[in-house]
Structure 1
Amino acid sequence: MILDKSSVPVETVNFHLWQPCNMSCGFCFAAFRDVRRTVLPEGHLSRADAESVVVKLAEAGFRKITFAGGEPLLCPWIADLVRLASEMGLATSLVTNGSLLDDGVIDRLRGTLDWVTISIDSLKPPVLQVLGRRTAGRVIDGHGYRMLCHNVKTSGFRLKVNTVVTSVNWREDMSEFIIESRPERWKIFQVLPVQGQNSAKVGPLLVAPEQFEAFVARNLRVELHGVHVVPENNDAMTGSYAMVDPAGRFFDAVDPHGYTYSDSILQVGVAAAISQIVISREKFLARGGLYGDALFDAADPAGVR
């Protein structure tokens, strides 16, 4: 049961519950090696503590939770955590690289997970290899991504695709694939450099604003086929998300020197922790952060969109 909306500035929260990942993307802004090195040697909370974080987030007034990583499907009890969030009245979402999204996982998540977001940065295996979007040296090819999207939609989940635009994929036209796969939303990010997260690898992958905008413009025709495109440049991304790290702390990317972390939610509670980082509701709304029927109904009972 959601108790107190007044203590949170936005309706949605991203819980990066699992630091480990089975890919090594050079642009990853959520590596959290600093977290693992300084406060969380295993790279994740215990099951009981993770459940407590979810309960506290729901009770504080968040209405949607997105489970992310690392790779959240590496968590052996992710389905139980999603179920808990659903039982607490939260809309639920999960961001995955897709490598572990098999029929068994889908069956365990069906009925409690609302949205599946698949990270798809290219349909070209050589490009994916350069990006580090691979597992044991293997990448998911275009056919594999088509099958993943098909399975997500036919299993009753709402589908979203995330794409990070970098120097090696900004010239690509992914529109035919997106039109065929028909996600409800396609979020297109400009690769974001974050000191201490991807600073050792991201340099050669950075793109100029005009290159990012060219990728968006080239692919924008998917909106004529019912796919909502959400472009986010570096400014739109920073300070517009409520994010929780694998140690159960809020964090933001406003400081150019790296992430700023709050005290642990488990120690000080949501209200005190979230007051220690920067979240702009104006920027959250400007980037289209409020979407989905449950969120609209909660934020605007009159049904005004």
Structure 2
Amino acid sequence: MMMLSTQIVYVKMMLQVCFSNLHSIVLSTLELVFSWVGVNAGHGRVCVAHKAAEAVKTPTPTSVNYHFTRQCNYKCGFCFHTAKTSFVLPVEEAKRGLRLLKESGMEKINFSGGEPFLQERGDFVGKLVQFCKEDLQIPSVSIVSNGSLIRDSWFRKYGEYLDILAISCDSFDEDTNKLIGRTQGRKSHVDNLYKVRSWCKEYKVAFKINSVINTFNLEEDMREQILELSPVRWKVFQCLVIEGENAGDDALREAEGFVISDQQFQDFLDRHRDITCLVPESNEKMRDSYLILDEYMRFLDCREGRKDPSNSILDIGVENAIQFSGFDEKMFLKRGGKYVWSKADMRLEW
């Protein structure tokens, strides 16, 4: 009996050693895999290695921002996703990527640009919105637009599939909008904003406003207009500089003249503190707390103040690509990235 007990203890010890060695081998393998410098074929962009410990923990792509186009009809001076290419994925390839994201845990998809309504006069983004809501059953589908190209006919065709439409508006003064570059020709950006607001109410789409606070609008008082428009959320951003996009030798924009201090941003927030729908986002909160996909469906890592792309999720899958996203999941939750984002749950009075 004593012999049998000794043998059992010996077997247990051997199993522990085996499992310990196996664990070490797995970690070493992961370190090798994620230390490999992968070149994104055809685009000449490099994926830089991350630490193995980070690679082991895979973030869930709960909320994803897909910038499927870089083209825009506006020329905002602080834009940090500029028209470096005119590439847009074929719609079926985009759908394939969206399905991969859903299978990996995506609950919210936001389509952005560039200007999303430029491609196929809005039909491209409309098809993706319908696919995400109807086929993939994604709880929240949203779009960020400047509002200048949206038509009533788009809402009639695709409005039922859209949860939230966010319109970018940095000022309610047309001269200020011109200084910023948020304008085209003689069109009134503010008039378009109010028009789109009325369509959102008519077609039961939750209405949101995004504003970038910068040197040209930091003294503005927007309380009256925001209360009148009554968005479900008013996202207020501090102007952010990204190397290669709106700063540096290769940049298409020069945002240095738009940058404000943390105190100036806080002063603007203090002036509007009574607006209950206001959601502030400083540079610190914004930089690493978004999962951003570019036009090739590559995650963009902004931790070094620039956009370093992963390989495309279409080539290596979501789980592998997201390791190179630089995504700060804790900051995402801290800034209120998870909220009631399906219009079915908002109980809005249309």
- Alignment match, 2:77: 26
Structure 2 residue matching 1:275: 3-state secondary structure: helix
Q: 1:275 aligns with which of 323, 343, 350?
A: 323
Counterparts of 2:203 and 2:273, CA distance in 1: 27
Q: Per the alignment, do residues 10 and 247 of structure 1 end up closer, same or farther by CA in structure 2, a change over 3 Å counting?
A: closer
More helix by share: 2
Give the counterpart of 2:67 among 16, 21, 24.
16
2:123 is the alignment partner of 1:79 = no
- Number of aligned positions between the proteins: 279
Which deviates more, 140-149 or 154-163? 140-149
Query: In the alignment, is residue 198 of structure 1 matched against residue 251 of structure 2?
Result: no
Alignment correspondent of 1:110: 159
Q: Which amino acid aligns with 2:94?
A: A
Deviations along 1:6-52, whole A, 9 cap, x unmatched?
9643411000011111111111111151xx2xxxxx32112221111
For the residue of structure 1 that corresponds to 2:68, the secondary structure is strand
How far off its partner does 1:81 sit?
Answer: 0.8
The residue number in structure 1 matching 2:297 is 248
TM-score normalised by L of structure 2: 0.76
Conserved 8 A contact 1:18-1:44: yes
Letter in 1 for 2:143: L
Seq. identity, % = 33
- Which digits, 9 at most, give the CA deviation of each residue in 1:117-152, with x for residues without a partner? 0001101111111111012x2343434322322221
Give the corresponding residue for 1:264.
312
- The whole-number CA distance in structure 2 between the counterparts of 1:101 and 1:212 is 31
1:70 equivalent to 2:121? Answer: no
For 1:70 and 1:202, how far apart are their aligned partners in 2?
17
Unaligned runs of 5+ in 1: 1-5, 37-41, 298-305
Q: Secondary structure at the match of 2:279?
A: strand
Of residues 47, 71, 76, the one that matches 2:91 is 47
Q: What SS does the corresponding residue of 1:220 show, helix, strand or coil?
A: coil
The verdict on how the C-alpha distance between 1:156 and 1:273 changes in structure 2, with shifts beyond 3 A counting, is: same
Q: Tell whether the 8 Å contact from 1:125 to 1:139 is kept in structure 2 after alignment.
A: no
Q: Deviations over 1:61-100 (max 9, x none)?
A: 1001000000111122211111111120212000000001
Could you say what secondary structure the match of 1:156 adopts? coil
Give 1:154-169 correspondences, 5 Å limit: 154-169=202-217
CA contact (8 A) 1:175 1:220 kept: no
Q: So what's the TM-score if we normalise by structure 1? A: 0.87
What does residue 303 of structure 1 align with? Answer: none
- Give the whole-Å Cα distance in 2 for the aligned partners of 1:270 and 1:10: 8
RMSD value, Cα? 1.9
Q: Is the 8 Å Cα contact of residues 182 and 189 (structure 2) preserved in structure 1?
A: no
2:235 pairs with 1:187: yes
Q: Hey, what's the Cα distance between the residues in 1 that align with 2:114 and 2:182?
A: 12
Match of 1:3 in 2: none
8 Å contact from structure 1 (residues 129, 139) kept in 2 = no
TM superposition shift of 1:284: 0.2
Matching residue of 2:50: none
Kept after mapping to 2: 8 A contact 1:239/1:253: yes
- What pairs up with 1:96-245 in 2 under 5 angstroms? 96-135=145-184, 137-199=185-247, 200-223=253-276, 228-245=277-294
